[in-house]
């Protein structure tokens, strides 16, 4: 599904469900996937989502933004003349800040382990990655705050969901927003827009989450097509966010677009509960990068993934 109206309808229609996953022994990747709200059945999703909502409700997005900014300043101060935004900032700062605020005993260890779990999180990866992820889940449980197993699973799941998506957003934003070599950092943003407005446009034009999967629980008609029960459906956020029926000049980078139509964070009961927190973390990082960095002219490459768009590396000069 690529049309904005069809993607939004599928995200909010009860006939379209998240594909089921199989569970496994406590402390394994399979157990984690089967315990988090992300992959839960409709019958279990509400109670598990409430765990995540409650945990996020205790976090002030402004404080997350300020801590992410301070952490980014510390990284830049130690970087010398250049650094890789993806390796040194995007994949480290947001996870460590979030893990610390959620009560993980060792935020650095948690961030490292989360990256391993995220690489194997979606079903279908090879056995070697799964075994590595099993060990990483054990590490995360060892540093997670004490609570019921399902609560701890969903706190870990929150970090995993934030891992690639937030890193991809920061990487894409740095590519779009940082001045190229030869121009001073901290220049006027396009149209006078602030970082938050520009991030919203990056999420539309170059989303870190390109798509999500659903399966039809019953026969349903959508987009002029009859879909029988058990039909797999791929919902394309990247295409829906460029639908000319919703966005004028969809290929243009225009921060501050009027109206609401962005689908990158999903919609309906399974919409991302941490959108404000993710944007706060990314804003804190980008505010500092925009003030002190410019990007080199190295070509931008992305990690191979069917539904994510995350830069592999992004070198910048630091002042």
Mean pLDDT for the stretch of residues 95-99: 98
β-strand partners of 235: 212
Adjacent-strand bridge partners of 17: 215
Residues 66-88: tens digit of each pLDDT: 999 999 999 999 998 899 999 99
State pLDDT tens for residues 168-226.
Answer: 999 999 999 998 854 544 444 554 568 888 999 999 999 999 999 999 999 999 988 99
Listed residue (229, 262, 266, 207) closest to 49, CA to CA: 266
Q: Are 277 and 59 in contact (CB under 8 A)?
A: yes
Quote the CA–CA distance of 272 and 193 in Å, as a whole number.
25
pTM exceeds 0.85: yes
CA distances from 116 to 97, 109, 260 (A): 18, 11, 35
Strand spans (E) along 148-266: 211-216, 220-222, 225-227, 232-236
Task: Give the per-residue pLDDT at 187.
Answer: 46
Q: What is residue 191's predicted lDDT score, i.e. its pLDDT?
A: 47
- DSSP code for 299: P
Residue ranges in the chain assigned as alpha helix (H): 4-12, 29-35, 42-57, 61-77, 85, 93-101, 107-119, 127-143, 149-177, 195-205, 237-240, 275-292
The predicted pLDDT at position 186 comes to: 47
Domains of the chain (ranges, CATH numbers): 4-318 (1.10.630.10)
Q: Report residue 259's pLDDT band, with 50, 70 and 90 as the boundaries.
A: low
Question: Is 35's pLDDT higher than 80?
Answer: yes
Range 150-171 average pLDDT: 96
Average pLDDT over residues 34-62: 96
As given in the structure block, the two tokens for residue 77 are 């101060």
């Amino acid at each position: 599904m690529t049309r904005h109206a069809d993607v939004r309808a599928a995200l909010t229609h009860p006939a379209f469900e998240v594909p089921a996953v199989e569970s496994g022994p406590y402390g394994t990747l399979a157990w984690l996937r089967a315990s988090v709200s992300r992959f839960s059945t409709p019958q279990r999703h509400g109670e598990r989502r409430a765990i995540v909502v409650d945990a996020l409700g205790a976090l002030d997005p402004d404080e997350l933004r300020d801590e992410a900014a301070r952490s980014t300043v510390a990284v830049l101060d130690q970087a010398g003349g250049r650094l890789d935004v993806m390796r040194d900032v995007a994949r480290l700062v947001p996870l460590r800040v979030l893990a610390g605020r959620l009560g993980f005993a060792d935020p650095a260890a948690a961030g490292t382990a989360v990256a391993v779990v995220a690489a194997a999180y979606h079903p279908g990866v090879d056995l070697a990655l799964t075994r590595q992820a099993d060990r990483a889940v054990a590490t995360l449980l060892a540093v997670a705050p004490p609570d019921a197993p399902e609560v701890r699973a969903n706190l870990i799941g929150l970090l995993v969901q934030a891992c690639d998506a937030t890193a991809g957003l920061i990487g894409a934003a740095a590519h779009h927003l940082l001045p190229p070599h030869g121009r001073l950092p901290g220049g006027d943003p396009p149209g006078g827009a602030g970082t938050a407005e520009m991030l919203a446009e990056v999420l539309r034009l170059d989303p870190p989450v390109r798509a999500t999967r659903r399966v039809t629980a019953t026969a349903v008609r959508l987009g002029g097509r009859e879909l029988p029960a058990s039909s797999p459906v791929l919902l394309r956020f990247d295409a829906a966010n460029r639908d000319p029926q919703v966005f004028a000049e969809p290929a243009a980078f225009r921060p501050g677009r009027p109206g609401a139509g962005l689908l990158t964070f999903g919609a309906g009961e399974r919409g991302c509960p941490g959108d404000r927190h993710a944007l706060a973390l990314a804003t804190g990082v980008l505010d500092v990068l925009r003030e002190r960095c410019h990007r080199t002219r190295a070509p931008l490459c992305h990690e191979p993934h069917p539904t994510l768009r995350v830069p592999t590396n992004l070198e910048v000069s630091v002042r």
